[in-house]
Chains A and B, each alone.
Chain A
Amino acid sequence: MGLTFADIQSISKEATALYPEMEVPLLNEYSEDEKRIAELQLGFSARLRKSAYYITEPTKSIELPRYSDKYRPSQASQPTLKRKDLHQPFFPQEIFEGYFNPKKRKITARKGVKKRVNLDEIEAETGEKEEGEEERSEAGSEAAEQDYDVEEEYDNDYAENYFDNGENEDNEDLGGGVGAEEGGVGYDYD
């Protein structure tokens, strides 16, 4: 089995084609009816693009303003969802209320968070500090605070301070205490 030397010699030395030959399939002629159906199908996506059902987020552009910007469709020209167009019983209630009533929802969320983390004193302290800040600055974007709400559940202190990249290591004190090798947290016990 296998190739003998004679076989190898007789193999052609030209490069083989990179891809095998392909028979490109052709689309048969289509009738007027099919054309009309295709038109109708594409119409749906086009109409939805301009409707209130197309969700967009406002983005900030870093480019310089141009003259033609006033002719281009802006964020304001995109219609938004209206509460009166939708029939409330069909939707999941919390999500519906949360979208159309952002202020009411914030207060109930805060209370919930606070109740759960009463045990941890440090957590409660930072929680109270945030309450104070929030009451002062209500105009802050809801999105940023909501993100904070989700992240707050994780205790990030340890994770952020775990990695010690060796910048502050004091190698002269090799026989030093236990705390010298730790990162930021360790300094307290120095």
Chain B
Amino acid sequence: MTDINTASLCERIIRTDFGPLTGTVASVLLTRGRLPLSQIIRFSKLRPRSVRGAIIVLVQHNLLWHAETDIDGEVVEVNVEECLMRMRYGKYVWFAEQHFGKAAAEVVQLILDNGKLRPPEILSYLSQHDPVKGPTLYSQALHKLVETHYLKPSTILSHISPRDKRIRYETEEKARISGFPTAKQVREAKEIAEVRLKREEEEAEKVGMKRKAKDQLAGKSSKRKALDEDVVDDDVYFRVNCEKFNILIRNQIIEEAAKERFNHQAGTVIRAILKATEPKQLHLADVRSDPTSLGDVATHLSDEEDLAEGFVLPPSKKPSEMTLLKDYCGILASADNPTPAGQAASFISLNGSKVQVEFDIIGRRLKRRVLEAVARERHGDAAVRIIRLLLQTGKMDEKQISKIGMMSPKESRPLLGALSAESLISIQEVPKSADRNPARTFYLWHVDLHKTYTVLVGTLYKTLHNIGSRRQAEEEEPVVKAVLEKRQRTDVMQDEERLLTRNEREVLAQWEKKREKLTVLEQRVEEGVFILRDFGSPGINDE
């Protein structure tokens, strides 16, 4: 069961993509948690055949887990994370195009369209238009994607609800404890179960590549090693590995942040650093990247960029690339400011000649920026001052806030009330006497970051839901609806120029422009959600 904002957003996503019937099934599951088939039919009031079809579609697209229980039989449960990832599919395909080319983008798009597919099906579908060169082109792209972990194999285990598995393992572990379990033993049992779960998942996902027979090289094989080729296994179903694509999104956000903070060339430098360790970055939760040497980074710098342009140098001096690179790294690492404040403002850490990108620090900074931006927009600059003050000093009394923040109490009091009404700041009571007499307690204000970020994510979900419903409302406006229905006709689809009047074409153009703007806005808001929820440091998941 999820909170109301997440549930309504997920329902909207499923409804726009899969239709109202599937949307109703999803909303029943989102509001009531996991259910067996008969109860879903009863609550959704749809025909059983439609409900079964909807469940099959959702399982195929990895949006539903299922499990077998003793009490209820077969139950299904919504995979909320995967549902929210659907908003990023456009970005995933775009990244695939940027990094691997058009063929890879088409492969990724096809797999996202169908949930999961086997290689022969992918190749046969995509090579329809180009049977000569198609298969080799697409199979190469597919191989590359699987090798770099952008596609991962879909196993039977991944369809079973992880909560069920966790409960089962925990009961097994607890059964091993004899006598009364102490709190520590219970905790240990939980951790062992968690580790076992992760290990099983990782092993199951190693299935993707299988080795071809060793190539026997005749003759001068003394120098060349016998090549062991890894070929993509044809029987395995592949799905998109959202985590790896999310890493790409994160790297792009970091690059933009560096560009904004310093200049364009600094962005290039940090991009090169990230690219150097990209193959090994597999999890968003990493605190910092693997260390790389400056030489390695230099190889990843593109030749077009001239680092010297980023610096104001005297005209005679022409320093080498490496010195410039070292200078940039020094700036990015705040080497000139070794205090905690400087460290909190850094992007990378420089140890001798090794650089590491500090994801945690950058993430924390970006989240604070989002918080401050929301506060500034809603309550003005004074609110931002209060929040910064509280973040810096911890917990403070109302009188102290007005004194140190240099605001009159008349100004600070309503702001504190408004901010706490939106859960951006919280209150801590410290009673002076044994009974909690309000006149004799201290009320200390503070910013509880975890709670604040959770509330902000909920608000952003609401915003996304509103954008989606505005887009739907624009589509269902009578004039636009009539034109869209006319456009669906088979004769009009072939000859739009003649059969649609000029008015209708204008209406269509306007509607498409509005739709585009709304989608761009949605992507931007989604980026905010990414920063707050997925960027790394303690995630805001409620499990």
A34-B520, A37-B91 given as contacts; is B50 within 8 A of A91 (CB)? no
| A53 located at the interface, meaning its Cβ lies under 8 Å from any Cβ of chain B in the complex | yes
B54 interface residue (CB < 8 Å to A): yes
Question: Please, how many angstroms separate the alpha-carbon atoms of A87 and B121 in the complex?
Answer: 13
Question: Is A96 a contact of B56 with CB atoms below 8 Å?
Answer: yes
Cβ B57 vs Cβ A95 within 8 A? no
The 8 A CB mask of B61-97 against A (1 = contact, 0 = none) is 1000010100001101000000000110111011000
Q: Do B49 and A142 touch (CB < 8 A)?
A: yes
Chain B CB within 8 A of A146 CB: yes
- Select from chain A the residue with minimum beta-carbon distance to B73: A94
Once the chains are docked, how many angstroms separate the CA of A56 from the CA of B154?
Answer: 28
Distance to closest chain A CB from B479 (angstroms): 18
Contacts of A146 in B (CB 8 A): 47-49
On chain A, the residues within 8 Å of B516 by CB distance are 35, 38-39, 42
Q: Note all chain B residues with C-beta closer than 8 A to A39.
A: 90, 516
Chain B hits for A91, CB < 8 A:
56, 59-60, 66, 159
- Name the contact of A86 in the complex, choosing from B42, B52, B60 (C-beta under 8 A): B60
B426-460: which residues lie under 8 A (CB-CB) from chain A? none
A27→B74 contact, CB < 8 A: no
**A38 with B90: CB separation less than 8 A:** yes
Q: How far is the CB of B82 from chain A (nearest CB, A)?
A: 14
- Tell me if B519 and A42 are in contact (CB < 8 A): yes
**In the bound complex, CA of A95 to CA of B93 (Å):** 32
For the complex, is B38 an interface residue (Cβ under 8 Å from A)?
Answer: yes
Q: Which of A67-75, A122-130, A131-139, A175-183 contacts B (4 or more CB under 8 A)?
A: A67-75
Cα A91 to Cα B59 with chains together (Å):
7
At the interface, yes or no: A11 with Cβ under 8 Å from chain B?
A: no
Q: Is the CB of B515 within 8 A of A42?
A: yes
CB-nearest residue of chain A to B95: A37
Whether A41 is near chain B, meaning CB under 8 Å from some CB there, is yes
A40 interfacial contact with B, CB 8 Å: yes
Please, how many angstroms separate the alpha-carbon atoms of A72 and B87 in the complex?
30
Cα–Cα distance between A130 and B485 once the two chains are bound (Å): 44
> Which chain A residues border B53 with CB–CB below 8 Å?
55, 81, 99
**Chain A 78-108 residues near chain B, CB threshold 8 A:** 81, 86-87, 89-96, 98-99, 102
Q: Give CA–CA (A34, B86) in the complex, Å.
A: 17
**Chain A residue contacts of B50, Cβ below 8 A:** 55, 57
**Interface-located stretch among A44-52, A155-163, A165-173:** A44-52
B55, CB-defined interface residue at 8 Å: yes
Q: Is the CB of A53 within 8 A of B57?
A: yes
Of B11-19, B199-207, B282-290, B396-404, the stretch lying at the interface with chain A is B11-19
User: B90 is contacted by which of A37, A71, A73 (Cβ under 8 Å)?
Assistant: A37
Question: Given known contacts A55-B21, A147-B47, is B156 in contact with A89 (CB within 8 Å)?
Answer: yes
A40, B22: Cβ atoms closer than 8 Å: no
Q: Which interface residue of A71, A73, A92 has the most chain B CB atoms within 10 A?
A: A92
Q: Taking the nearest CB of chain B, how far is it from the CB of A97, in angstroms?
A: 10
| CB of B490 closer than 8 Å to a CB of A | yes
The residues of A that contact B488 with a CB separation of less than 8 Å are: 72-73
| Interface residue A8 (Cβ < 8 Å from any Cβ of B) | no
Q: Count chain B residues whose beta carbon lies closer than 8 angstroms to a beta carbon of A.
A: 58
* B106 → chain A closest CB, angstroms: 11
A189 at the interface (CB under 8 A from B): no
Knowing A30-B520, A98-B52 touch, does A40 contact B93 (C-beta < 8 A)?
yes
Task: List, in ascending order, chain A residues with CB within 8 A of B42's CB.
Answer: 150
Give the interface centre of B42, B56, B68, B521 by most chain A CB atoms within 10 Å: B56
Are B90 and A41 within 8 A (Cβ)?
Answer: yes
Q: Are A37 and B94 in contact (CB under 8 A)?
A: yes
A143, B52: Cβ atoms under 8 Å?
A: no
Q: Is the CB of B66 within 8 A of A92?
A: yes
Q: Is the CB of A44 within 8 A of B18?
A: no
A92 to B58, CA, bound (A): 12
**Given A44-B89, A55-B18: A37 and B523 within 8 A (CB)?**
yes
**A98-B34 Cα distance, complex, nearest whole Å:** 19
Tell me whether A38 and B523 are in contact (CB under 8 A).
yes
Whether A51 and B113, one on each chain, are in contact in the complex, defined by CB atoms closer than 8 angstroms, is yes
Please determine whether A48 and B520 come into contact, CB atoms closer than 8 angstroms. Answer: no
Which residues 137-175 in B have Cβ within 8 Å of A in the complex?
154, 156, 159
Complex contact A44–B113 (CB within 8 A): yes
Given contacts A55-B19, A90-B59, A92-B74, contact A38 B491 (CB under 8 A): no
In the complex, are the beta carbons of B55 and A95 less than 8 A apart?
A: yes
Please give the distance in Å from B6's CB to the nearest CB on chain A.
20
- CA of A71 to CA of B61 in the docked complex: distance in angstroms? 32
Chain B residue, CB-CB nearest to A83: B56
Contacting residues, chain A, for B515 (C-beta < 8 A): 42
Contact A33 to B56, CB < 8 A, known contacts A44-B89, A91-B66, A94-B37:
no
A95 touches B52 (CB 8 A): yes
Tell me which residues from 369 to 420 in chain B have a Cβ below 8 Å from any Cβ of chain A: none
The yes or no answer to B129 lying at the interface (CB within 8 A) is no
- Provide a sorted-by-A list of 7 A–B residue pairs whose CB atoms are within 8 angstroms: A44-B113, A55-B19, A72-B488, A81-B53, A95-B56, A95-B66, A98-B37
Q: Which residues of A contact B (CB under 8 A)?
A: 27, 30, 33-45, 47-49, 51, 53-57, 68, 71-73, 81, 86-87, 89-96, 98-99, 102, 142-143, 146-147, 150
Chain B residues in the interface with A (C-beta under 8 A): 16-19, 21-22, 37-38, 41-42, 46-50, 52-57, 59-61, 66, 68, 73-74, 76, 86-87, 89-91, 93-94, 109, 112-113, 116, 154, 156, 159, 237, 485, 488-492, 515-517, 519-523
Contacts beyond the supplied A41-B89, A94-B73: 6 A-B pairs with Cβ under 8 Å = A37-B94, A89-B156, A90-B59, A90-B237, A94-B37, A95-B52
